[in-house]
Amino acid sequence: MGENYPNSAGEEFLNSMGEDYHNSTGEDYPNSMGEDYPNSLGDDYPNGTGEDYPNGTGEDYPNSMGEHCPNSMDEDYPNSTGEDYPNSTVEDYPKSTGEDYPNSKVEDYPKSRGEDYPNNIGEDYPNSKGEHYPNGTGEDYPYYMGEDYPIGIGEDYTKGTGEDYPNSMGEDDP
């Protein structure tokens, strides 16, 4: 119960109804218990299990309601659990759990959990056991398990619901 901020368990701003932090409905950082970000009990970043940011399971900014971090309804990265933009409903990548665009319903690769795309077991795309695009609901090839097409168990096209050869157990045709 400092000079300006009641129910403060951090350095300055916990449960503040004043100008800036914690449960703030004003300009900057709601649910902030620290100096800058929400759910912060320390100096800067609440629930930080990494180097800097609270509730971060990825590299940068989870559970942030401020300028940059996850669960942000602000400008960039809400509900981020990956490296960059998980569960983002803002500009680019919603529900991302991979490095870049998991569970993305936006441009390209939803449910990706690999290096680039969620649910990726192969080299590039989600649920891929081959080379390219499993369970893709984006631009190219959903339900891939082969090299190119969805649910491919062979080299090319098994049970493909994509562009070319669905239910194919041979080389080309279903």
Q: pLDDT for 118-146, tens place per residue?
A: 333 333 343 333 334 433 333 344 333 33
Query: Do residue 172 and residue 99 come from a single domain?
Result: yes
> Averaged over 162-167, what is the pLDDT?
41
Residue pair 97/103 in contact by the 8 Å Cβ criterion: yes
Nearest residue to 125 (alpha-carbon basis) of 154, 104, 156, 155: 104
User: For residue 144, what pLDDT is reported?
Assistant: 35
| Structural domain span for residue 73 | 1-84
Residues 69-115: tens digit of each pLDDT: 433 333 333 333 333 443 333 333 333 333 344 333 333 433 333 33
User: For residue 112, what pLDDT is reported?
Assistant: 35
Query: Do residue 75 and residue 24 come from a single domain?
Result: yes
* Residue at which a domain ends, from 84, 105, 136: 84
Domain total for the chain?
A: 2
Look-up of token digits 């800067």: 44
* Residue at which a domain ends, from 84, 105, 129: 84
Look-up of token digits 């097409």: 149
